[in-house]
Chains A and B, each alone.
Chain A
Amino acid sequence: MAVEPVTLTSVKAAPNHGRMLRERLATILPQLVLAPSLFATLIYVFVFCGWTIWISLSNSSLLPDYSISGFHHYVELWSNRRWTIAYTNLFLFTSLYVIGATAIGLLLAILIDQRVRAEALWRTIYLYPLAVSFVVTGTVWRWLLSPSTGVERVVHQLGWASFKFDWLVQREMAIYTVVITGIWQASGFVMALFLAGLRSIDPDLVKAAQIDGASMPRIYRRIILPAIGPIFISVLVVLLQFAIKTFDLVIALTGGGPGIATTVPAIYVYDLMFQRGQMAEGAAAAIMILLALSLVLVPYTIWKNWRERREAARG
């Protein structure tokens, strides 16, 4: 599928060294261009991860301490109720949030792509939540969702006295308010990514299908959505990382409450590493977040490889 990096002209003619060097340079130019970013990312990902693993096995408390103490911080971590709640929340929140934001983002992108008037206005309305710091919009959402100040009160004042919307203060339901608010913030950007994808499609493809008499829903299903498959990957990655890093949102909206019902791992890590002086256990928690992530990434990679091999086998 991709273009072979060997050029047609460079193989035979090589009369002098200067030119040969230049041509060899041209051949590896793509790799050279990529090298600095790769170097930076490898340090960022692997060295920093390695450091965290080391800390999680060490005696670190107030400050980093590099003497090894073993796995007992992991044991402590898993005997902690708050951590178990946080880890469960991570899975619950992530799945609802990723599905919800993808669906709404895609719907909005398709709606906007219907040659609507004032497209820029709609786009800006849906995108603005990303522009405003979450610490602030999270607070406003808290006012809106709280039964004593927000929607419930307004509806009561309108005369519907039995109306109830108190998820924010219900231990079992509070995590769903976090999902609602999270989707509100991220779906605009998902919309933008999908819209860029929709705009990268060759219009002739669609026109041809329209001339053939295919219905629009069918065209979306059969032609447009498969064509923007790679964009789906971008969207999923963006949402997944948002979900596992969720921090400000919960702090501003519920503060991890009611009680500790909406704690998430990122808050736990920060609390232990920096507030409570339990750096090693905090690092262990961070590693557990990455492990949770690999629960998604590893099966995906295996599936992708398997599919590619199958396609290659089919020729």
Chain B
Amino acid sequence: MYLARYATAAVAASTILGLLSVTAVYAVPKTNLLSQWDNGSDAAAIAKLGEMFTAAGGKWESTSIAGHTANTLAKLRADVVSGNLPPAVQLKGPEIAEWDATGMTLSLDEIARKENWDGVVAPELLSVMKPKGSWVAVPMNIHRINWMWASKIVLDKVGIKEMPKTWAEFNADAEKVKAAGIIPIAHGSADWTDATTFEIVVYGMDIDLFRKAFIEGNTDAMRSPQMVAAFEQYRKMVKWMDPGIAGRAWDAAANMMLTGQAAFFFMGDWSIGTFNAGGFKEGVDYLCGQAPADNGKPGFILNSDSVVFFKQKDADYLAGSKLLAHLIMTKEFQTIFNQAKGSIPARLDVDLSKGFNPCQQKSQQDLGESIKAGTLVRSFAHNMTILQKYRGAAMEVITEFVNTPNLAANDAANRMAEAVEAQQ
């Protein structure tokens, strides 16, 4: 049955090739991008990518999988199991290396050399995009995680003149806010939001600890006294949150800060999209600043979305993958996409002076400075470092810590180390 069909197809194909050998040389680039960018501004940015693809003569299709990241990964696995490798998939961090190891990914070295990607992409991303030295993924943006947002109204009311720079300053300011009867920290609890705030704390207190525990996955570092100290600082911060954090969506928490119900808010730069949608302005309603860091250096926790390409038998899809990779790396797309997302381009050579939010401009500047200072790290909470099984186990403990008032810092640190060890 299959053989017969293949034979017929082969005969038909060779006939057509024979007749139309001229057109066959110029394959029509085709693609189907599997992603999570399914809604509103994200979807609009992807739709724009589709327009650029079509304008370049390609046939564009995209499949966006909503909700949990697991849905996208489930779709990818189902496609692999059923024997239809998708041409282009949104994958990030260590997943790129994992899928690269299966031997199913497509090398983009040729086009990368031609367009000098090694020279323009942020250096911290190179090892992620080239797990075995060969380009198999293209980065679309750089999100900054270690942002601290503050309500201008509250700071003015309480008399805080400057954004706190260290955790000690932060703690003092939070006490002032609390004394004024305002919630010091706006938060919505979920595993990833709890982990986001915690990684900001760890990074700000001890960057070496961050590297050992969250980039190398070293469990001794996870149960070290420094980690216990970080959990203690986190416990203080949890007490400065209101009792309604469980189940609150992150954007609802953002609104608490924006409307002056709470003073500070820790979240990545995608918040800017929400701020803009509510009509809130930087300098008027909210302020942005690097989250406290005790070493006094500029710092940057980086997260990046990327697209991985898989091998295809069909020449049209191969041509499409090359075209898509090229388009994603253009300054034009990196600008459009990131203006909508609140992040900054993954290329370091894009000018942000027009159409970007002041916080985004600051983000790009800080990125450069943290590269110089050697403080740039990848995000653990946003799946840029250790394998999902370790990350998931550690995040469970962090979110439990936030929601269990009597869980001691020491126990939490030990439990995190044990949970990760159990997965090894």
Q: Do A277 and B389 have beta carbons less than 8 Å apart?
A: yes
In the complex, A145 Cα to B422 Cα: how many Å?
Answer: 36
Q: Do B98 and A76 have beta carbons less than 8 Å apart?
A: no
Q: Do B403 and A258 have beta carbons less than 8 Å apart?
A: yes
In the complex, A142 Cα to B245 Cα: how many Å?
Answer: 12
Q: Do B102 and A148 have beta carbons less than 8 Å apart?
A: no
Whether a CB of chain B sits under 8 angstroms from the CB of A254 is: yes
> Which residues of A have CB within 8 Å of B55?
none
Q: Do B422 and A276 have beta carbons less than 8 Å apart?
A: no
Given the known interface contacts A259-B404, A270-B70, A275-B73, the answer about A147 and B243 at a Cβ–Cβ threshold of 8 Å is yes
Binds A, one of B30-38, B137-145, B246-254, B263-271: B246-254
Q: Do B244 and A147 have beta carbons less than 8 Å apart?
A: yes
> Contacting B68 at CB < 8 Å: which of A142, A145, A251, A254?
A251
Given the known interface contacts A142-B247, A270-B70, the answer about A260 and B396 at a Cβ–Cβ threshold of 8 Å is yes
Given the known interface contacts A257-B403, A260-B400, A271-B392, the answer about A148 and B242 at a Cβ–Cβ threshold of 8 Å is yes
Given the known interface contacts A253-B247, A270-B70, A277-B387, the answer about A258 and B98 at a Cβ–Cβ threshold of 8 Å is no
Q: Do A62 and B102 have beta carbons less than 8 Å apart?
A: yes
Q: Which of B382-402 contact A (CB under 8 A)?
A: 387-389, 392, 396, 399-402
Q: Which chain A residue lies CB-closest to B190?
A: A255
| Interface size classification for chain B | 35 or more
Q: Do B388 and A275 have beta carbons less than 8 Å apart?
A: yes
Whether a CB of chain B sits under 8 angstroms from the CB of A168 is: yes
> Which residues of A have CB within 8 Å of B245?
169
Q: Do B392 and A275 have beta carbons less than 8 Å apart?
A: yes
Whether a CB of chain B sits under 8 angstroms from the CB of A63 is: yes
Whether a CB of chain A sits under 8 angstroms from the CB of B77 is: yes
In the complex, A260 Cα to B68 Cα: how many Å?
Answer: 17
Given the known interface contacts A255-B190, A259-B403, the answer about A277 and B246 at a Cβ–Cβ threshold of 8 Å is no
> Which residues of B have CB within 8 Å of A174?
246
Q: Chain A at the B interface: mostly helix, strand, loop or mixed?
A: loop
Measured CB to CB, the closest approach of chain B to A65, in angstroms, equals 11
Q: Which of A61-89 contact B (CB under 8 A)?
A: 62-64, 76, 79-82
Q: Do B248 and A146 have beta carbons less than 8 Å apart?
A: yes
Q: Do A261 and B98 have beta carbons less than 8 Å apart?
A: no
Q: Which chain A residue lies CB-closest to B253?
A: A148
Measured CB to CB, the closest approach of chain A to B341, in angstroms, equals 22
Which residues on A are within 8 Å of B, measured CB to CB? Answer: 62-64, 76, 79-82, 135, 142, 145-149, 166, 168-169, 171, 174, 251, 253-261, 270-271, 273-278
Supply 16 further A-B pairs (C-beta < 8 A) apart from A64-B81, A253-B247, A256-B191. Answer: A63-B81, A80-B422, A81-B396, A82-B396, A135-B67, A146-B247, A168-B246, A168-B247, A169-B245, A171-B403, A251-B68, A258-B247, A259-B404, A270-B70, A274-B71, A277-B98
Which residues on B are within 8 Å of A, measured CB to CB? Answer: 67-71, 73-74, 77, 80-81, 98-99, 102, 189-191, 242-248, 252, 387-389, 392, 396, 399-404, 419, 422-423
Can you show 10 pairs from A to B with CB atoms below 8 A apart? Answer: A62-B99, A81-B396, A149-B244, A169-B246, A257-B191, A259-B189, A259-B396, A259-B403, A271-B392, A277-B387
